[in-house]
């Protein structure tokens, strides 16, 4: 049902030192028993989805049956950042499988924080697999990204931050207004300003 990858040319835009299994997830065992992979493929096939769009530049990303599963990365978020995302239940919570292409992760599109305009850098993320948290919320660049969705006061101090990338994707209580929400996850227009590369 899913495509079989014929070569690794999709990753040739990476600098040479990143074209290896430390930066691109490769198949580990011959049986192919892998929870993350079955999670993604099972959900996508149940919706008859064999390709997703990059939520940033809209490029079509075919899904492959083995690692690396995509020319970019998948990530789970309670936010659907694009129209063409897949809804799942994970850990009892409603989530969406979003996708970002390798070009956007490597800085090929101009992606800036909607608040402070700092350029977003996804180049440290592992390619070809799925993150179980929101990669856009995981590396907050300014205090605005850490405010309460309801009262707009600081839920977490940007200088202190949280210990784990995944913590920004959890529901937490605002210390001021007590609102319990995914405070650091917002719709695309409140997260990034995306400028398409001119060659697209
Ligand atoms: Zn993209
Ligand atoms: Zn910012
Ligand atoms: Zn609040």
Helix/strand number for the chain, H first, E second:
3, 10
Shared domain for 17 and 113, answered yes or no, is: yes
C-alpha 119 – ligand 2 centre gap (Å): 8
Q: Return the ligand number nearest the Cα of 148.
A: 3
CA of 76 to the centre of ligand 3 (A): 25
- Shared domain for 95 and 122, answered yes or no, is yes
Distance (angstroms) between ligand 1 centre and the Cα of 196 equals 9
Which range has the worst mean pLDDT, 20-34, 45-59, 120-134?
A: 20-34
Q: How many whole angstroms separate alpha carbon 8 and alpha carbon 15?
A: 13
In a domain, 148, yes or no: yes
Mean pLDDT, residues 127-133: 97
Ligand located closest to 193 CA: 2
| Residues 164 and 95 grouped into a single domain | no
Residue 166 CA, ligand 1 centroid: distance in Å:
22
**What range defines the domain where residue 155 resides?**
137-188
The pLDDT-based confidence of 77 (bands split at 50, 70, 90) is very high
Q: What is the ipTM of this complex?
A: 0.96
């Amino acid at each position: 049902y899913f495509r079989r990858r014929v070569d690794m040319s999709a990753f040739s835009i990476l600098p040479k030192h990143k074209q290896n299994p430390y930066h691109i997830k490769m198949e580990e065992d011959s049986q192919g028993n892998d929870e993350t992979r079955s999670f993604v493929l099972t959900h996508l096939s149940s919706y008859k989805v064999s390709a997703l769009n990059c939520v940033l530049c809209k490029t079509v990303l075919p899904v492959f049956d083995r690692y690396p599963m995509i020319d970019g990365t998948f990530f789970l978020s309670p936010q659907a950042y694009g129209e063409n995302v897949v809804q799942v239940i994970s850990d009892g919570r409603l989530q969406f499988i979003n996708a970002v292409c390798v070009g956007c992760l490597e800085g090929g599109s101009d992606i800036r924080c909607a608040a402070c305009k700092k350029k977003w850098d996804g180049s440290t993320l592992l390619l070809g697999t799925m993150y179980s948290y929101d990669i856009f919320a995981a590396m907050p660049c300014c205090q605005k990204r850490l405010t309460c969705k309801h009262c707009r006061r600081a839920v977490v101090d940007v200088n202190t931050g949280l210990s784990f990338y995944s913590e920004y994707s959890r529901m937490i209580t605002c210390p001021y207004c007590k609102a319990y929400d995914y405070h650091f996850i917002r719709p695309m227009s409140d997260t990034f300003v995306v400028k398409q590369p001119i060659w697209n």
